Amino acid sequence: MNEVIKIFGPNRLKGDIRVSGSKNALLPIIAASTLVDEVRLQNVPNITDCYFMLSIFRELGGNFTWLDNQTLGLGFSKAKSDTLLLPYVTAVRASILFVPAILFAFDHCKIFLPGGDSFSPRPVNYHMAIFEEFGFKCSLSKNYLSINRSRRTPNRVTINLPFASVGATQQAILMATFFRVNTEIFNAAFEPEILDLMKFIKSLGVKFQVLFSRKLIRVFPAKRSKPRKSHIFKVQGDRIEFITWCILGALCGDLVRVTGYPVKWLKRPLEVIHETGARIKVESKDTVLVKTQGRIKRVSVECKPYPEFPTDAQPLLAVLATQCDGNSTITDTVFPSRFSHCEELKKMGAQITVKGNSLTVKGPTKLLGASVLSHDIRASASLIVAGIIAEGETTVDGIHHLKRGYEKFDEKLRSLGANIFTMEQEVDHFC
Ligand code: UD1
């Protein structure tokens, strides 16, 4: 049996929704929990990627307990293994952030190449360059990465990132903290999830200087290695989930109140949704009201690192564009081939042309229910959003991707009035 999501559309949505804790903030924080003896994490989403990271954490010698549905107690003393050759490692990209804890304990490490969404080639060369700056030599084989000490860690480290990579910025912060080396990260990424990691590490005594205009982060680590016990940290809300609800509100919201994320960090995405003509009202510092407004104006958007429009919301924006008046263009400069959702949306009637790293979406198009397959987390959410506005029955397969990053997505949609169900479906076996 295989789980699929079925939607009977079109639906109008109305009501209040609160976003869950952020996957992209949580995963690095689980890796950073190897820095402390004990930590209590609050606002933890129940998603598969969290379980994968916890399994790796346990394999390394850590322990964890669910204290309630959203609170995790984690304990760690020292990495007990120098190898991470587990299937979970290939399932989640953030697994590479456990390397600093292993190198700190053993001065060498062997790890499967990290996985995660496979929408684009996802090399680890920036991570390797960071390990090398800290005195290690890396060798890459087909499936794994070996890292060995080759010289002493210098007293100061300077990292120059070729691209403002989220994972590489987090890696540099973790290496600086473990090895207690003053570190400068040029061309750093500033996604709010990185700010959450810095906030977590700051409470361990590490100091940061963040020079946004120079795209520079300076890390001044603490002198002690295990600075604090019984540390409590609340994971920030999910930025991309917040945008997902706002896009749904713009498409088919009678009035949707979205809450649980600082609106000041959503300037560009909310601006884009507002430009389409949707009614958006900021109700408080973490709440907006969104309502559809009949005719939707076309968009022209480039997805870039924060504070620009996020690549993670690009598949959702593509669905909004199908309802816009005229030709919309969306360019993804972060993952230039992240377009697996387009072929599926075309099965529903969308008129999309992919050229290089850009999409042209002709609208407005009446979408019709179809059987579609999702290939990654955000693609699954976008296909569900398309199913909500489509006429008739839509079946979305591959929803294990959805469950990696969205907590109770179908349940939340039902609470807003959507006709959506998760069902078991027989798998056809061909002999
Ligand atoms: C993180 C997010 C992901 C989001 C992405 C961009 C997590 C768990 N995942 O992924 O949801 O889509 O940021 O906002 O937080 N690159 C290299 N070499 C490297 C590392 C990256 O070439 O060693 C390239 C990538 O191929 C990509 C660009 O840099 O083109 C940005 O990737 P990056 O910011 O590192 O994404 P992730 O941290 O993997």
Q: How far apart are CA 117 and CA 405, in angstroms?
A: 11
CA of 329 to the centre of ligand 1 (A): 22
Non-local CB neighbours of 16 within 8 Å, separated by 6+ positions: 256, 257, 259
Separation of alpha carbons 39 and 64, rounded Å: 10
Residues 6+ apart with CB under 8 A from 186: 158, 159, 160, 161, 214, 215, 216
With pLDDT > 90 as the criterion, what percentage of the chain qualifies?
Answer: 89
Distance from residue 298's CA to the centre of ligand 1 (Å): 28
Domain coordinates in residue numbering, the chain: 2-20+238-425, 23-234
344 C-alpha to center of ligand 1: Å? Answer: 24
How far from chain centre, in Å, is Cα 93?
Answer: 10
Q: Is 162 in the pocket of ligand 1 (CB under 6 A)?
A: no
Q: How does pLDDT run across 363-408, given as a tens digit for each residue?
A: 999 999 999 999 999 999 999 999 999 999 999 999 999 999 999 9
| Ligand 1 close to Cβ of residue 259 (< 6 A) | no
Residue scoring higher pLDDT (96 or 114): 96
Q: Which amino acid is at 279?
A: R
CATH topology of domain 2-20+238-425: UDP-n-acetylglucosamine1-carboxyvinyl-transferase; Chain (3.65.10)
- What are the tens digits of pLDDT across the range 167-215? 999 999 999 999 999 999 999 999 999 999 999 999 888 999 999 999 9
Compute the distance between CA of residue 385 and CA of residue 367 in angstroms, rounded to an integer. 11
Nearest-angstrom CA–CA distance, 397 and 5? 7
Residue 120 banded pLDDT, cuts 50, 70, 90? low
Residue 116 has pLDDT above 60, yes or no: yes
What is the distance in A from the centroid of ligand 1 to the CA of 264? 23
Ligand 1 mean position to 128 CA, how many Å? 14
Rg (CA), the chain: 22
String of DSSP letters for 336-375: TT--HHHHHHHHTT-EEEEETTEEEEEE----B--EEE--
What strands lie across the sheet with 279-284, from one edge to the other? Answer: 13-18, 253-259, 287-291, 279-284
Please tell me the residue having the least CA distance from ligand 1 atom 12.
312
Concatenate the DSSP letters of all residues of 361-415 into one string: EEE----B--EEE--SHHHHHHHHHHHHHSBEEEEEE-THHHHHH-SSHHHHHHH
- Checking if the pLDDT of 231 tops 90, the result is no
pLDDT at 117: 61
Distance between CA atoms of residues 135 and 125, nearest Å: 16
Instruction: Give the pLDDT confidence of 125-145 residue by residue, as tens digits.
Output: 999 999 999 999 999 988 899
DSSP β-ladder status, 182-186 and 156-160: parallel
* More reliable by pLDDT, 430 or 92: 92
* Ligand 1 centre distance from Cα of residue 398 (Å): 22
Pairwise CA distance, residues 60 & 80, whole Å: 6
Is the confidence at residue 226, as pLDDT, over 70? no
Q: pLDDT tens, 56-78?
A: 999 999 999 999 999 999 999 99
The ligand 1 atom nearest the CA atom of 129: 23
Which of 334, 380, 404 is the pocket-test mutation for ligand 1 (most atoms within 8 Å of CB)? 334
User: Is any atom of ligand 1 closer than 6 Å to the C-beta of 127?
Assistant: yes
Q: Which burial class, exposed, middle or buried, applies to 159 when counting CB atoms under 10 A from its CB (0-12, 13-18, 19+)?
A: buried
DSSP code of residue 235: P
For residue 149, pLDDT over 70 is answered with: yes
Q: Average pLDDT, stretch 30-52?
A: 96
In the numeric block, the tokens 């991309």 are attached to 240
Q: From the CB of 161, is ligand 1 less than 6 Å away?
A: no
Of 283, 338, 299, which is closest to residue 121 (Cα–Cα)?
A: 338
| Alpha-carbon separation of residue 103 from 21, 145, 194, 414 (angstroms) | 29, 13, 22, 46
pLDDT of residue 431 exceeding 50, the answer is no
d(CA 209, CA 70): 31
Domain covering 23-234 in this structure, CATH number? 3.65.10.10
> Could you read off the pLDDT of 267-278 as tens digits, one per residue?
999 999 999 999
Closest to 169 measured CA to CA, from 112, 141, 203, 210: 210
Using the 8-state DSSP alphabet, how is residue 294 labeled? S
Same fold flag, 2-20+238-425 and 23-234: yes
pLDDT digits (tens, 9 = 90+) for 352-365: 999 999 999 999 99
Distance CA 30, CA 42 (A): 12
